[in-house]
């Protein structure tokens, strides 16, 4: 699979490709995509041009393409929720779409789904079913099937889905993606067709936790026009370096015929132990009990309320299996809802007791996959199996991240999910990024920043083993890479002055006049970076340094006065070379 990331896409622009050229290439790939099941509608080229005409290069998602599930309003495209007769033309885009476009992202189309977001299979649609990119005989996962497949096939680096029962996580598992199910209400659902209004989340599919984190930071905004919106924390929670994670007893894990997936789950648990975790067995029964309430309890009534008038007016327009599920929502009484709420409160109490033993939980995302033929034969029972480990999360108010965890029998993707209390979204993504690197999926590069971190280029006394390196160490700095600048720099000697020793000054010069200069990239937390920069004495300062790989990072640069009459050290290749020669 083509692991297209936001960072990789940004490097297209660093390499000199123009915005219109890059967008045209994406548009043509989507236009010519042979899998007719991925999209319900595609943005016209004029629609793309209208979006890129108003974005600026300094925007965080400048020129990053994405697609959205067709139950999320996008101005200029119809919203169908995979029901052609339900289709309407939205006057304005959903809040989440607007925030992404204001950050510079460009929407290229609306993707297929299980009709009215009711299902985890990805085949309950009147349109062609999106093909599972790994084996077309198997389901792609739903309800956000088209959004997941679009990212898995490398058409866009991220997409939006929705998640009520697991629709942002099951497709992630089947398409070998990251699936972020944020804390309920952190991403506004204004402009999203209701499935279960009190439980719905907008979800994010990406090829890296870093990308999911970036999309979350852009879109997690309080929406005063949305009754279910919640304010994200001003300072996000983090996990400790040494953490505890919960696992079920081996006898409690169920894979419904895919028993070999147990080895994949164990492998993921071992990886988290290697990252500093201690596994602790917990009782998963409260979680699984809550999961059954979602479809066996009165929450199905929310699905009925969401499309009640349309369903009564045009029942024939709704697929039979979808109609069978949603129509059950007309039956429960108010008393049934209160009784279910009491049961849910008890499950939450018991689940909280288990969560207090650990920092997060690790479960399979879904027990297994099924073939298209198997789901056609038993559409409701098999769909329920897929939600075994997902259905409870919104009911119990957790944040969750689905992660790849190998392939069943070496062929079909399978995954695990880490989840924790509401508000732990970015903490889970940060840990997920470390897990990705551990399994070899997201190797760090000299330009890869962590969450709430800054990369700092140093070229003098702050180098590893040198006199001022302690200033980085005491602020929690860690070495990312030993590398060089681009070949457009000269290195000059700033003489000793007062209490200040001699030090190098890095100066950018014209093309053809410079050399590559030895340097190191260090990683600092943002709060440590601010303190570090405030103590830099002139004529040195902090600016942008162009690296040999074409990426610009924060680093030491010098004022013009630093080079007046100064000795040029460039031929030594760097500060270390100069000091060695000096000996």
Distance CA 183, CA 233 (A): 11
Per-residue burial over 81-113, b if 16 or more Cβ lie within 10 Å, else e, is bbbeebeeebeebbbbbbbbbebbbbbbbbbbb
Q: Look at residue 298 and tell me whether its pLDDT is greater than 90.
A: no
pLDDT reported for residue 358: 98
> Which is catalytic among the residues 167, 188, 384, 570?
167
pLDDT reported for residue 329: 83
Q: Identify the band that residue 279 occupies on the pLDDT scale cut at 50, 70 and 90.
A: very high
Instruction: State whether residue 451 is helix, strand or coil.
Output: coil
The predicted model gives 82-89 an average pLDDT of 98
Distance CA 316, CA 329 (A): 17
pLDDT in tens, 374-398: 999 999 999 999 999 999 999 999 9
Active site residue 167: yes
Q: What DSSP line would sit under 228-269, residue for residue?
A: T--PPPSS-----SSEEEEE--GGG---TT-TTHHHHHHHHH
Q: Mention every residue, 6+ apart, whose C-beta is less than 8 A from residue 101.
A: 51, 55, 93, 107
The predicted model gives 62-70 an average pLDDT of 97
Q: Identify the band that residue 548 occupies on the pLDDT scale cut at 50, 70 and 90.
A: confident
CA neighbor of 340 nearest in space, from 386, 291, 283 = 291
pLDDT reported for residue 1: 45
Q: Where are the beta strands (DSSP E) in 269-364?
A: 277-281, 360-364
DSSP secondary-structure letter at 481? E
pLDDT reported for residue 493: 94
pLDDT reported for residue 391: 96
Q: Look at residue 77 and tell me whether its pLDDT is greater than 70.
A: yes
Active site residue 44: no
Q: Look at residue 444 and tell me whether its pLDDT is greater than 50.
A: no
Instruction: State whether residue 69 is helix, strand or coil.
Output: strand
Length of the chain: 583
pLDDT over 70 for what percent of the chain? 98
Q: Look at residue 443 and tell me whether its pLDDT is greater than 80.
A: no
Distance CA 111, CA 146 (A): 5
Do the beta carbons of residue 464 and residue 457 sit within 8 Å? no
Do the beta carbons of residue 118 and residue 303 sit within 8 Å? yes
The predicted model gives 302-325 an average pLDDT of 90
Q: Look at residue 446 and tell me whether its pLDDT is greater than 70.
A: no
The predicted model gives 50-78 an average pLDDT of 96
pLDDT in tens, 332-369: 777 888 888 999 999 999 999 999 999 999 999 999 99
Tokens (6 digits) for 26 = 């994406």
pLDDT reported for residue 99: 98
Do the beta carbons of residue 485 and residue 546 sit within 8 Å? yes
- Of 3-7, 228-232, 386-390, the one with minimum mean pLDDT is 3-7
> Which is catalytic among the residues 143, 208, 229, 384?
143
Distance CA 531, CA 535 (A): 7
pLDDT reported for residue 18: 92
Q: Look at residue 445 and tell me whether its pLDDT is greater than 50.
A: no
pLDDT in tens, 150-200: 999 999 999 999 999 999 999 999 999 999 999 999 999 999 999 999 999
Do the beta carbons of residue 444 and residue 549 sit within 8 Å? no
Backbone angles phi, psi at 350, to 5 degrees: -70, -40
Active site residue 143: yes
CB atoms within 10 A of CB 496: 10
Residue/partner pairs of 346-349 with CB below 8 Å, 24 or more apart: 347/286, 347/287, 347/289, 347/290, 347/293, 347/392, 347/396, 348/286, 348/290, 348/396, 348/397
What mean pLDDT is reported for the chain? 93
Backbone angles phi, psi at 464, to 5 degrees: -55, 130
Do the beta carbons of residue 490 and residue 554 sit within 8 Å? no
pLDDT over 90 for what percent of the chain? 77
**Domains observed in the chain:** 6-438 (3.90.1300.10), 453-582 (3.10.490.10)
Torsion of CA 287, 289, 293, 294, to 10 degrees: 40
């Amino acid at each position: 699979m083509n692991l297209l990331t936001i960072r990789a896409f940004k490097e297209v622009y660093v390499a000199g490709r123009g915005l219109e050229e890059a967008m045209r290439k994406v548009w043509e790939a989507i236009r010519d995509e042979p899998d007719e099941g991925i999209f319900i509608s595609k943005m016209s080229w004029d629609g793309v041009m209208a979006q890129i005409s108003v974005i600026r290069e300094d925007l965080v998602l400048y020129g990053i393409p994405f697609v959205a599930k067709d139950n999320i309003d996008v101005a200029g495209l119809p919203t169908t929720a995979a029901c052609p007769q339900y289709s309407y033309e939205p006057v304005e885009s959903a809040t989440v779409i607007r925030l992404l476009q204001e950050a510079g992202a460009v929407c290229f189309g609306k993707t297929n789904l299980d009709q009215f977001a009711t299902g985890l299979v990805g085949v309950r649609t009147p349109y062609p079913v999106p093909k599972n990119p790994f084996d077309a005989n198997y389901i792609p996962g739903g309800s956000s099937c088209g959004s997941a497949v679009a990212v898995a096939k490398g058409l866009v680096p991220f997409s939006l889905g929705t998640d009520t029962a697991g629709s942002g996580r099951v497709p992630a598992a089947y398409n070998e993606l990251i699936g972020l199910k944020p804390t309920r209400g952190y991403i506004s659902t204004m402009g999203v067709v209701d499935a279960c209004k009190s439980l719905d989340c907008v979800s994010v599919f990406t090829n890296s936790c870093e990308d999911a984190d970036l999309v979350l930071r852009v879109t997690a905004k309080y929406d005063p026009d949305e009754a279910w919106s919640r304010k994200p924390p001003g300072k996000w929670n983090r996990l400790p370096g040494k953490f505890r994670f919960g696992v079920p007893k081996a006898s409690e894990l169920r894979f419904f015929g895919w028993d070999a997936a147990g080895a994949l789950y164990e492998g993921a648990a071992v990886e988290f132990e290697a990252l500093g975790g201690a596994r602790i067995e917990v009782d998963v029964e409260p979680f699984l009990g809550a999961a059954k309430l979602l479809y066996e309890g009165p929450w199905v009534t929310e699905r009925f309320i969401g499309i009640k008038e349309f369903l009564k007016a045009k029942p024939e327009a709704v697929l039979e299996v979808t109609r069978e599920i949603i129509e059950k929502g007309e039956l429960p009484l108010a008393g049934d809802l209160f009784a279910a709420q009491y049961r849910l409160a008890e499950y939450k109490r018991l689940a909280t007791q288990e969560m207090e033993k650990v920092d997060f939980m690790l479960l399979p995302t879904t027990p297994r996959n099924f073939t298209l033929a198997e789901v056609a034969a038993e559409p409701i029972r098999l769909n329920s199996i897929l939600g075994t480990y997902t259905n409870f999360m919104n009911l119990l108010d957790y944040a969750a991240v689905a992660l790849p965890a190998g392939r069943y029998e070496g062929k079909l993707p399978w995954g695990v999910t880490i989840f924790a209390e509401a508000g732990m979204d970015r903490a889970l993504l940060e840990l997920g990024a470390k897990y990705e690197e551990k399994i070899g999926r997201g190797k760090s590069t000299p330009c890869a920043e962590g969450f709430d971190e800054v990369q700092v280029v140093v070229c003098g006394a702050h180098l590893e083993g040198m006199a001022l390196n302690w200033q980085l160490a005491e602020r929690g700095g860690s070495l990312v890479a030993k590398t060089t600048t681009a070949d457009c720099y000269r290195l000059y000697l700033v003489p000793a002055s007062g209490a200040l020793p001699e030090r190098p000054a890095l100066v950018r010069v014209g093309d053809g006049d410079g050399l590559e200069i030895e340097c190191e990239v260090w990683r600092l937390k943002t709060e440590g970076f601010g303190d570090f920069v405030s103590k830099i004495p002139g004529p040195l300062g902090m600016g942008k340094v162009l690296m040999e790989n074409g990426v610009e990072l924060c680093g030491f640069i010098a004022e013009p006065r630093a080079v007046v009459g100064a000795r040029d050290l460039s031929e030594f290749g760097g500060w270390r070379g100069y000091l060695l020669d000096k000996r």
